[in-house]
Amino acid sequence: MGFRKMALSEKTLAALDGLGYHQPTEVQLKTIPLILQGENIIVRSQTGTGKTAAFGIGLIELLDADQNKKALVIAPTRELAVQIGEELKGLAREHHHKIAVVYGGQKIDVQIRQMERGVDILIATPGRLIDHAERRTVDLSAYSIVVLDEADEMLDMGFKDEMDRIMGAVPKERTVLLFSATLDELILELASTYMSGTAETLELGEKESAEQITEDFVQVSRRKKFANLKRILGQGEYRKVLIFMSTKRGVDYLYERLREIGYKADGLHGDMSQARRERVMESFKKGKTHILVASDVAARGIHVEDIELIVNYDEAQDADTHIHRVGRTGRMGKEGRAVTFIESREEEEKDRSRADHPDFAWMKNGGRGSERRSFEGRRSNRRQREQSPELKSGQDRRRRPRAHEKRGRRNYGPAKKRK
């Protein structure tokens, strides 16, 4: 079924045509009719499936039918908020709905002026939205349609309090559209508190993209990670590689080392200015950079097509983050590969005994030494979470199981495990 059969306005159809969206994706096909009927929905759907356009088209049509309505989209990170804004502006270009995006890290005055011009669809990160609500530069009681995008990420990042406050301030008579990569008990509990009346639950698409991903787990000592990475990169003519690290220092360290050995690599983390992050993303998207080393927070919500290889240089903190990371390859039916380094004490021991051997004496000085030092520096805070600016105040973080606590089911979710 094409978009034409979905009872959409001519304006939306024209915008879709302009964007080159000719056929709806599964999530669009299944959710748009429900959104148009004003249903609450709970959707399990990964990034890369067209979910932004699904709720975007729905919101634009609902607002078109009732000019007094306003919609609020809450997203965990500024990157995701900005991307949702871009997508919605494209979809609404014939309608001229006023769309504003507000997130932490940008000057609030700019955002306040934008709000003063009037807003129909507001896209916001939770912390900054609370900030605006406190300053009374936004009146949340005017927003009767709420989209919670990547709700699992928002919980993971400790935004539960902020979400509760926001949902307490929007009208009681509201429609809630919740999207999440995973639907576990916490998410379903959240949905039931935020939604009144009934809700449709849809679990979409995981299998389709999942079977395209081959995943390897490599037991490695910390100091051998870089050598292993070089070997893996040398196995293919990779043009788009995304490497995850757990710390900002790690990101800087690794992309610089990759540059030293001739790779077109760049880094992305929360300490960089918004402008610089956008430049880095642009050049990765366009294929000018081949390797992007990123922290989880910075990489969340990134929409880059055709990522061929994901490397979890540092293990994810929990299973959901792992699934999220790996889900960035093999999208839209393409094949993908993921490699996860698992730091192993056994390998560490082996290294140590080899290092005493005369052949390995060189490892004790020179370039290797600097690698060891810098890794030792981050050992103590290896698990420390990175925080986006708006997260720093939100201390109430509900902890989820970490990846290593779920090691018994390593081949969970989408990935195929290669022996």
Site residues (vs ligand AMP, CB under 6 A): 21, 23-25, 28, 47-53, 303
- Min separation Cβ 26 and ligand AMP, Å: 10
Measuring CA to CA, which residue among 250, 280, 259, 331 is closest to residue 47? 331
Q: Which is nearer to ligand AMP, 149 or 371 (CB)?
A: 149
Residue placing its CB nearer to ligand AMP in the complex, 174 or 303:
303
Q: Which is nearer to ligand AMP, 209 or 312 (CB)?
A: 209
Residue appearing with tokens 């009767």: 144
Beta carbon of residue 99, minimum distance to ligand AMP (angstroms, whole number): 16
**Minimal distance in Å, beta carbon 48 to ligand AMP?**
5
397, 391 Cβ separation under 8 angstroms: no
Q: Which residues pair with 312 in a beta bridge?
A: 244, 340
Among residues 285 and 406, whose Cβ is nearest to ligand AMP? 285
Give min distance, CB of 84 to ligand AMP, in A: 8
- For residue 391, give Cα distances in angstroms to 78, 161, 195, 324: 11, 11, 25, 20
Q: Which is nearer to ligand AMP, 23 or 370 (CB)?
A: 23
The residue among 140 and 292 lying less far from ligand AMP, judged by its C-beta, is 292
Tell me whether residue 80 or residue 166 sits nearer to ligand AMP (CB atom): 80
DSSP-assigned letter for residue 236: S
* Least distance (Å) between residue 218 CB and ligand AMP: 29
CA distances to 107, 156, 162, 192, 404 from 400, rounded to whole Å, are 33, 7, 18, 20, 12
Q: H-helix or E-strand containing 214?
A: strand 213-220
Question: For 25-77, where are the alpha helices, taking DSSP H only?
Answer: 26-36, 51-65
Alpha-carbon gap, residue 34 to 38, rounded angstroms: 7
In whole angstroms, the minimum distance from the beta carbon of 199 to ligand AMP comes to 21
Question: Would you tell me how many other CB atoms lie within 10 Å of the CB of residue 14?
Answer: 14
> Which alpha helices (DSSP H) does 327-410 contain, by range?
345-355, 367-379
By C-beta, is 21 or 313 nearer to ligand AMP?
Answer: 21
Other beta carbons within 10 angstroms of residue 397's beta carbon come to 15
Residue type, 325: R
CB of 28 to ligand AMP, least distance (A): 6
209 vs 221, beta carbon nearer ligand AMP: 209
Distance in Å, CB of 79 to ligand AMP, minimum: 12
- Closest distance of CB 146 from ligand AMP, Å: 18
Q: Which is nearer to ligand AMP, 53 or 218 (CB)?
A: 53
Asked whether 125 and 111 are in contact (CB, 8 A), the reply is no
Describe the chain by its helix, strand, coil percentages, rounded to 5: 50, 15, 35
Using CA atoms, how far residue 127 sits from 119, 131, 386, in Å, is 19, 6, 15
Supply the minimum distance, in Å, between the C-beta of residue 200 and ligand AMP: 19
Neighbours of 271 (CB within 10 A): 14
